[in-house]
Amino acid sequence: MFNNIDIKKIKPSTAFIAKKVVHFEKVGSTNDVAKENTYEDGTLIIADTQTTGKGRLGREWVSENKSGIYMSIVLTPEISAEKISLLTLIAGISVCEALTDICNIPFKIKWPNDIVADGKKVCGILTEGIILPEKPKAIVGIGINVNQKSFADDLREKATSIYLLSNKNFDREIIINKVAEAFEKNYMDFIGNKPLKKKYESLCVNIDRKITATINGTQINATAMGITNNGELIVKKEDGTTLNINSGEVSVRGIYGYY
Ligand code: BTN
């Protein structure tokens, strides 16, 4: 079986991301721990298992003991509250780059927050923001399926793990270090106003594909064209008009499968 995360091995080559690491063997949700406590900028909260792991749109994030990565990065950026959701896109690019580098498999992003390969999801990102009087606090929660050998029936069709994709077990600490390094680089570019839109679009699997978006219970069929500077998905509807979709209330599926 697998070991607990060894925090001594979490040593990314970064200036501030994951320089401080708080580790739990078991916790409700690393995002909740990050929200409910005061941590310095860049702190990484990590758990070997979560009992109430949270996904987007109120879904559960199944957090099997020691097989996956369940982590949250605490940030106190000097940005307006509306821009906090862009951190999801930054994290998506970073996880994609880190996993592609380590595993030699081309990972892609399914807008807005899923990292996918071979038609299935391997990672999800949940960014939460808190508006404090001083400055906003953002929590970027990242769940990566690493060494899971199988998934429950309800997840099997759409979830996969790095083990299932590569037939190899991976040290979670190595992946955490790489993700932290990629995240710090992309985050600093973002804070420095360097455009990341093109990079995101080149990794986004939806672009130029037909999608079905469920917006507040209503389905629309459209083709994804790109993203706006605010991270909305630009789609062309069947009647030829375009629409910018905000990630808050929407789930997007490909018309032939998960994407
Ligand atoms: C999604 O795909 O819906 C987002 C999943 C995010 C899961 C991660 S695991 C670490 C952090 N803690 C949580 O409770 N959720 C995020």
Q: What is the pLDDT of residues 29-44, one digit of tens each?
A: 999 999 999 999 999 9
Tokens of 26: 């078991």
Res. 226: pLDDT tops 70: yes
pLDDT above 70 covers a percentage of the chain that reads 96
Q: How many CB atoms lie within 10 A of CB 188?
A: 15
Whether pLDDT at 1 is above 70: no
User: Residue 255 — pLDDT band, cuts 50, 70, 90?
Assistant: low
Strand partners, 251: 214
Q: If you take atom 10 of ligand 1, which residue's CA is the nearest one?
A: 70
Ligand 1: residues with CB < 6 A are 29-31, 50, 53-56, 59, 61, 70-72, 113-114, 124-126, 141-143
- The per-residue pLDDT for range 18-32, each reduced to its tens digit, is 999 999 999 999 999
Q: Is the peptide bond before 112 cis (omega within 30 degrees of 0)?
A: yes
- C-alpha 50 to ligand 1 mean position (Å): 10
pLDDT at 257: 64
Report the atom number in ligand 1 closest to the C-alpha of 143. Answer: 9
Torsion angle (degrees, nearest 10) of CA 32, 141, 162, 96: 180
Distance 238 CA to ligand 1 centre (A): 33
**193-225: pLDDT as tens digits:** 998 999 999 999 999 999 998 887 888 899 999
- Which of 46, 60, 61 for mutating ligand 1's site (highest number of atoms within 8 Å of CB)? 61
Above 70 in pLDDT, residue 241? yes
**Which pLDDT does position 259 carry in this prediction?**
65
Q: Which residues contact 222 (CB under 8 A, 6 or more apart)?
A: 210, 211, 212, 213, 235, 236, 237, 238, 243
Say what the pLDDT of residue 248 is: 65
**Rounded Cα–Cα distance for residues 140 and 86 (Å):** 10
- Please count the helices (runs of H) and the strands (runs of E) in the chain: 6, 12
- If one residue of 29, 35, 48, 54 were mutated to test the ligand 1 pocket, choosing by the most ligand atoms within 8 A of its CB, it would be 54
pLDDT tens-digit readout, 171-181: 999 999 999 99
Count of Cβ atoms closer than 10 Å to residue 44 Cβ? 27
- What pLDDT, on the 0 to 100 scale, is given for residue 250? 67
Mean pLDDT along residues 68-94: 93
Report the percentage of the chain scoring pLDDT > 90.
Answer: 82
The mean pLDDT of 127-156, rounded to a whole number, is 91
Average pLDDT over all residues of the chain: 93
Q: CA-to-CA distance for 180 and 89, rounded, in angstroms?
A: 15
Which atom of ligand 1 has the smallest separation from the CA of 50?
14
Q: Whose Cα sits closest to atom 2 in ligand 1?
A: 124
Tell me: pLDDT of 170 over 70. Answer: yes
Give the mutation target among 33, 73, 126, 139 for probing the ligand 1 site: most ligand atoms within 8 A of CB: 126
